[in-house]
Amino acid sequence: MPDAGPTAVLPRRPLTVGELLDAAVLLLRDQARVLVPLALLLALAEQAVLHPLRMLAGTEPPYWWPAEFGDSLPAYWLLLAAGAGTEAAIIALLGAPAARGAGAALLGRRPAPSELLRGARPGATLPAAVLVGMTVAAAGLTGPGWFPAYALLGLVVPVLVLDGVPAHLAPWRAVRLAGRVGARAAAIRLLGYLGWWLIRLGIGLGLYQGLNMLGLFDVSAWALPVTIAAFTAVNALAYPALACLDAVLHLETRIRTEGLDIRLSRAPAGVPEPVLLAAHR
């Protein structure tokens, strides 16, 4: 089976951090027809879920900062934790089609959009995404606990989709993979999140301030819909990009630590793709 080559979405070799980030963007570009519309729907649902919590915390757009903390601090802290949980769950849900696309890219082919949704194990990935979201939200309530929770749980859905392990073993394998090589995958996941967080913040707030500077209309009167539209739009790109990063991180970690590239190069022709990518147990 020929190597996909250095210009492939996901070459069969260990990658640098920059190459991993590039691979995630290339994967998103190839699979945007599926990932971006799904992300848009999920981002809209997230805004609907968070809206009552924002009202409870007394926050106002565009900054979603309470007028004064005092008694609203517990509600605001709950809002932050809930937001951390919803975005983690959304990224995990998008990780299923992203992982399918990454697996195909590793084998040197571009799957059809319908193929990304087939074999995504929705019966397992949906509960896993909910579990990831709840765990990250609970860790977010502690403050610093968010960092290890987000960093270590990103590979749960790619493990479910590609590695062929039972659902109850997927979280433990995901944590082990993320912790290998000095927690390299976990650190890169945090780096990717930080980068997209800055982009989301810049675009979400920048659009509001830009419209305000243009003076075309009273932006403050439309602060809620403008802010929600801006953050929904940027999240529709950020969430699938982070899901694609999880997918390529998963396969690259297996190449780096399990010799997946060697196994693929030695595989005889005609071996089914799920068998090629399944983890040896």
What per-residue confidence (pLDDT) applies to 24?
Answer: 94
The full length of the chain comes to 281
Q: Which amino acid is at 232?
A: T
What per-residue confidence (pLDDT) applies to 108?
Answer: 84
What per-residue confidence (pLDDT) applies to 5?
Answer: 41
What per-residue confidence (pLDDT) applies to 271?
Answer: 77
CA angle 181, 11, 24 (to 5 degrees): 75
Domain ranges for the chain: 17-277
Strand partners, 65: 60
Strand partners, 60: 65
Classify residue 176 as exposed, middle or buried by CB count within 10 Å of its CB (0-12, 13-18, 19+): middle
Q: What are phi and psi of 7, to 5 degrees?
A: -95, 5
Around 277, how many Cα atoms within 13 Å sit in the side-chain half-sphere? 25
DSSP state of 154: T
Widest CA span in the chain:
66
Q: Which amino acid is at 19?
A: E
What is the tens place of the pLDDT at every residue in 77-134?
999 999 999 999 999 999 999 999 999 988 888 888 888 887 677 888 999 999 999 9
The per-residue pLDDT string of the chain (281 residues; one tens digit each, 9 = 90 and over) reads 444 443 457 888 899 999 999 999 999 999 999 999 999 999 999 999 999 999 898 888 888 888 777 777 889 999 999 999 999 999 999 999 999 999 998 888 888 888 888 767 788 899 999 999 999 999 999 999 999 999 999 999 999 999 888 888 999 999 999 999 999 999 999 999 999 999 999 988 888 888 888 877 777 778 888 899 999 999 999 999 999 999 999 999 999 999 988 888 888 877 777 788 887 75
What per-residue confidence (pLDDT) applies to 67?
Answer: 73
How many whole angstroms separate alpha carbon 179 and alpha carbon 162?
Answer: 19
Q: Looking at the chain, list the stretches that DSSP marks H as alpha helix, in order from N- to C-terminal side.
A: 17-30, 32-57, 73-106, 113-117, 122-141, 146-152, 156-158, 170-214, 223-258, 260-266, 273-277
How many whole angstroms separate alpha carbon 69 and alpha carbon 58?
Answer: 9
